[in-house]
Structure 1
């Protein structure tokens, strides 16, 4: 491989396999749904993305595909169909890792609040980087599309400062962070908020 990696592809695959197993155990990546990515190089931009069509609870370190800054495969393998959106999030936000899960709460709340989901006065907001619970924030909701360029445009238009997540109506949740651990923590926090909103 002639691509200079900041971390090895196998190492990235092992990390993503462990993260996927965790999310699958929560029921957030049922069947073969959902996908994860981590940036393995910044110059040039390269992402390790979970391979398409695999059970996310059974991934191995080899079940990732290297992609370029547009989400196209570099070398062998077929990445998730949504790799292009992962790459777009990385370009827009500088994220080091992106999580996409299909949770019941995200789909349900995206349908109930198509204009965005507001949260206010909750201690858990600190888990998204807010300094105090005494804030009101909006989690954006965007319409779904099978066209990743169109979906990426919608995501870009909906981005809000300080909010590292977006709900795709009828589909699921995208969350990002500096690295896989932060992306995981933020995903768990956003899902908690969505579950709370669902009970209201």
Structure 2
């Protein structure tokens, strides 16, 4: 089927339609400094349909007509994606296999990738620690309440709980991060995000709202953690 025949997939007056939400989210994230240049990306799953922002486009300029669409159930080879709609000229995001990992392994409804400076700084601070720490941990901070307890679990974390976000090593090509991200998901089954050393972060949630909320909460905690480090304040404490 010709790509032009499937333009209806990204045409809707509904502001909550994925093709309308993705450009709006990308613009918000650009204003936050999370997706400068053409970095970062966002993907939303609607049942079996996956909507993806394109690669190589300034995120504040993304339009519904720029959105790629694929059927999740039809993807059998991460090197050979089959798209229902593929805009002419534009390239699909290299983040695609990582987004798909969140959708298939965590049944996520939305996955967000940012190049947040605070996320990168956290990975650098962890890198400098003895044994090159592979997980960010923080507790006894109110914002921790913004995170779900874990995949398939009810409710959110509490103030005294410890939030753990694993760190994987960066690769020259983004799609090559997929195996490491999936391994981190297995080792940390309750995580809603994976940090990528010297690169950024992937965050997912059951819905667009949850993914966005968790992404914002993480960025707050990363900034707070950097400032705490400057003051020699520990990220983990024994408050009960």
TM-score after normalising by structure 1: 0.88
Q: Which residue of 2 aligns with 1:132?
A: 158
Q: Which residue of 2 aligns with 1:15?
A: 21
Counting matched residue pairs gives 194
Q: Bigger radius of gyration, 1 or 2? A: 2
- Give me the CA root mean square deviation: 2.2
| CA deviation profile, 1:47-80 (whole Å, cap 9, x unmatched) | 1100111111111111210134346233423321
Q: Which residue of 1 aligns with 2:41?
A: 35
**TM-aligned CA deviation for residue 148 of structure 1:** 5.3
Gaps of 5+ in 2: 3-7, 12-16, 127-132, 149-155, 230-240
After alignment, is 59-68 or 13-22 more displaced? 59-68
| CA deviation profile, 1:90-144 (whole Å, cap 9, x unmatched) | 1111001100000111111112214111111111111012341111221111011
Cα distance in 2 for partners of 1:100, 1:81 equals: 11
**TM-aligned CA deviation for residue 86 of structure 1:** 0.6
After alignment, is 33-42 or 69-78 more displaced? 69-78
**TM-aligned CA deviation for residue 152 of structure 1:** 1.7
Tell me if the contact between 1:84 and 1:148 (Cα under 8 Å) persists in the aligned partners.
Answer: no
Asked whether 1:76 is paired with 2:95, we answer no
Q: Which residue of 2 aligns with 1:99?
A: 112
Q: Which residue of 1 aligns with 2:58?
A: 55
Asked whether 1:119 is paired with 2:138, we answer yes
Cα distance in 1 for partners of 2:71, 2:171 equals: 22
Cα distance in 2 for partners of 1:108, 1:38 equals: 27
TM-score after normalising by structure 2: 0.74
